Amino acid sequence: MRTVCAYCGVGCSFEVGERLKGDKSYPVNEGMSCSKGISQLESIDKNRLLNTYINGKIGNYEDAINLIAKKIRNTKPERIGFYLSGQMLNEDYYVANKLAKGFIKTPNIDTNSRTCMASAVVGYKKAIGSDYVPVRMEDINHTDLLILIGANPAESHVVLFNKIKKAKKNGMKVIVIDPRFTDTAKIADLYLPITPGSDIDFLNLVAIRLIKEDLIDKEFIKTWVDGFDELRENLLKLDENELLKRSGISKKDFEKFMEMLKDAKKFITAWTMGINQSVQGVDKNLAIMNLHLITGQIRKKGSGPFSLTGQPNAMGGREVGGLATTLAVHLDYNEENKIKVAKFWEVDEVCNGPGLTAFEMIDKVDVLIVCHTDPIYHLPNRTFVEEAFSKIDLVVEINAYNGSETSKFAHIRLPAAPFGEKDGTQTNMDRTLTRAIKFREKRAKQDWEIFADLGKALGFRGFDFSSSEEVFNEYKEMTRLSPDIDIYKADYKELETKPFVWGEYALKDGFLTENKRAKVYFVENKNLHEMPNKEYSFILLTGRTRDQWHSGSKTAFVKSLKKYKPLSFVEINEVDAKNLGIQQGDEVKIISRYGELKTKVKITNIKKGSVFIPISERRVNFLTNPKIDPISKEPDYNHTAVKVVK
């Protein structure tokens, strides 16, 4: 038997036996796996939530469902929110989306992918017409140069990193752009220690040089790209020296970058949270896409802008419609789409949207259903988040595990099935749909069953599903309404052994806009992020470490995974440490304008003026600032001004 990993967006397949083993026959991981992935058998039964709790006391599941239904009936739809997760399977997403948008008629259904991928979603939609990732992992075997900006696959996407190392042995060059000298940077042919917040300056400088040195693909631009003249005109007004200075990269290193770029016939740019999690996240994405569109480095094997998805099914959530900004299956809110979707779900009408996004909804709803995620822990400016949650009339937590920070604020807690006990499909970072297969006795209901029970308790038709396969089949039919998702061609049984890649030919006849042309946008670094000052003089960066998954409700219980790195530490540059009289292992206070925490010092060669705290430190968001990108609504987790006190 085989199943798919429930951690990162690589989507590795495992053979299931006494232990989990990378599945050799599976094209995504070809037998590879990582320590976190294969630890899941060890963690599956630890720390499980197995009872229903009503106001802190063990209760009955049916009573809890009826209580939730009663409260929903007595609440205006616009005061009801669903907070979903990239850990849910497509079937779970589908039933939740149908229930919220089609029947309860609230558009306030968002996923925690809002906090990691929303800027990439908007970037792709603006540039190429759809939330479509135009690069596959195997493309790195066909490229000359991989530029990693704001991404650390050595810790966040381990199997992809192994693929990168293999491609590198075959001649591919790697450039890493990051304020931290990460484990990924160790294999780089060129490492550029960029100043936090200056990505747009750097990317614009590259675009200027490409234009000035006539390294652009004029034929491609003429045939396929709108907006180039305006982009060129605005870029050429910028001061190159100023851009370079702001990027914090030396002239010598920048010229080396340009040489490597010129030498590459094909290049891929890949990024994650260092780009997306920013008050200017959309513009950073667009600046990357500009480079690919003006050079024609897209729509051909071994090239393109590649947003690396963090969670196992963040992509699936985007496809099904788990984001408050879309209706379903990549359909935006407009009259035509609303009619189509209402007809499909056999309802008079669907809700009006877009809805409130993750960070926006928490202080504007009276009922909040949180599923397999922990917003108290992961949303920024935690003091505000806790206050907002404490004012919500009814918080429901659906979770397979105990101990989330959100559980302390939940009036009703419902146990749910985790990896190994649920069946369905998920989509990895490169549009590969894979079956998650139940391989052990279920000890709780699967999420979609809980949402279906709630739908039935509310008296709605259309929730009598008897299996995940039945849900999948309804979902796949719905993708026929989509402009680009062809999941209707997939077969549930076949997915057990063979993945399905959707949208393989989506760019065959051009881009996914109405006129088939892509668009470039002039974007500028407007320095919208929180600025340091004399008092708060450091910039706090956050991110994953290799062996921990988010708050650690599973991984922190696996002994072998704790060896690599502690759950909590702060990285600081050696010169900064010396100036502050701080030594390795000292306990320090990190203080921002929003909160503080104590942790131990790890001296590294992180960029001077920056500090890094891993997200396995559960208190990290007491520090982070509340700014969000105005379009994608993604929080700026990577640019909070802090001070370090011994």
**Positions that interact with ligand SF4 (CB under 6 A):** 5, 7-8, 10-12, 29, 33-34, 36-37, 157-159
In this complex, which beta carbon is closest to ligand SF4, that of residue 36 or of residue 438? 36
- State in angstroms the smallest separation of the CB of 371 from ligand SF4: 21
Measured on CA atoms in the order 51, 54, 58, 64, is the torsion positive or negative? negative
In this complex, which beta carbon is closest to ligand SF4, that of residue 5 or of residue 69? 5
In this complex, which beta carbon is closest to ligand SF4, that of residue 31 or of residue 59? 31
Torsion on CA atoms 238, 242, 245, 249, rounded to nearest 10: 20
- State in angstroms the smallest separation of the CB of 59 from ligand SF4: 35
- State in angstroms the smallest separation of the CB of 549 from ligand SF4: 8
Q: What count of other Cβ atoms lies within 10 Å of the Cβ of residue 354? A: 17
User: Which one, of 298, 334, 26, 27, lies nearest residue 143 by Cα?
Assistant: 298
Q: Hunting for tokens 């979903």 — which residue is that?
A: 84
In this complex, which beta carbon is closest to ligand SF4, that of residue 5 or of residue 398? 5
Asked whether 416 and 444 are in contact (CB, 8 A), the reply is yes
User: Which one, of 476, 157, 422, lies nearest residue 312 by Cα?
Assistant: 157
CA 69 – CA 64 distance, rounded (Å): 9
Tokens read off for 517: 């042309």
Tokens read off for 613: 């705290």
* C-alpha neighbours within 13 Å on the C-beta side of residue 67: 19
In this complex, which beta carbon is closest to ligand SF4, that of residue 153 or of residue 595? 153
Q: What is the enclosing helix (H) or strand (E) of 340?
A: helix 335-345
- State in angstroms the smallest separation of the CB of 574 from ligand SF4: 31
- State in angstroms the smallest separation of the CB of 89 from ligand SF4: 15
User: What is the Cα 390 distance to its own chain's centre?
Assistant: 27
Which residue of this chain has its Cβ atom nearest to ligand SF4 in the complex? 37
In this complex, which beta carbon is closest to ligand SF4, that of residue 401 or of residue 511? 401
Hey, which bits of 5-129 come out as E strands? 13-16, 20-22, 52-54, 57-59, 80-84, 109-111
In this complex, which beta carbon is closest to ligand SF4, that of residue 317 or of residue 415? 317
In this complex, which beta carbon is closest to ligand SF4, that of residue 278 or of residue 313? 313
- Asked if omega into 305 is within 30° of 0 (cis), the reply is no
- Using only the alpha carbons of the chain, give its radius of gyration: 24
- State in angstroms the smallest separation of the CB of 392 from ligand SF4: 33
In this complex, which beta carbon is closest to ligand SF4, that of residue 16 or of residue 342? 16
In this complex, which beta carbon is closest to ligand SF4, that of residue 297 or of residue 548? 548
Query: Which alpha helices (H) appear in 460-546, and where do they start and end?
Result: 468-478
Asked whether 25 and 6 are in contact (CB, 8 A), the reply is no
- State in angstroms the smallest separation of the CB of 565 from ligand SF4: 16
Asked whether 144 and 173 are in contact (CB, 8 A), the reply is yes
- State in angstroms the smallest separation of the CB of 373 from ligand SF4: 17
- State in angstroms the smallest separation of the CB of 483 from ligand SF4: 29
CA 124 – CA 521 distance, rounded (Å): 12
CA distances to 245, 260, 275 from 249, in Å = 7, 16, 17
User: Which one, of 163, 171, 169, lies nearest residue 143 by Cα?
Assistant: 171
Tokens read off for 17: 């036996």
- State in angstroms the smallest separation of the CB of 576 from ligand SF4: 32
In this complex, which beta carbon is closest to ligand SF4, that of residue 39 or of residue 625? 39
In this complex, which beta carbon is closest to ligand SF4, that of residue 447 or of residue 547? 547
User: Which one, of 137, 93, 126, 91, lies nearest residue 111 by Cα?
Assistant: 93
- State in angstroms the smallest separation of the CB of 5 from ligand SF4: 3
309 forms bridges with which residues in the sheet? none
Q: What count of other Cβ atoms lies within 10 Å of the Cβ of residue 318? A: 26
Angle, CA of 284, 286 and 292, to the nearest 5°: 115
3-state helix, strand, coil in the chain (%, to 5): 35, 20, 45
- State in angstroms the smallest separation of the CB of 36 from ligand SF4: 5
- State in angstroms the smallest separation of the CB of 6 from ligand SF4: 8
In this complex, which beta carbon is closest to ligand SF4, that of residue 148 or of residue 298? 148
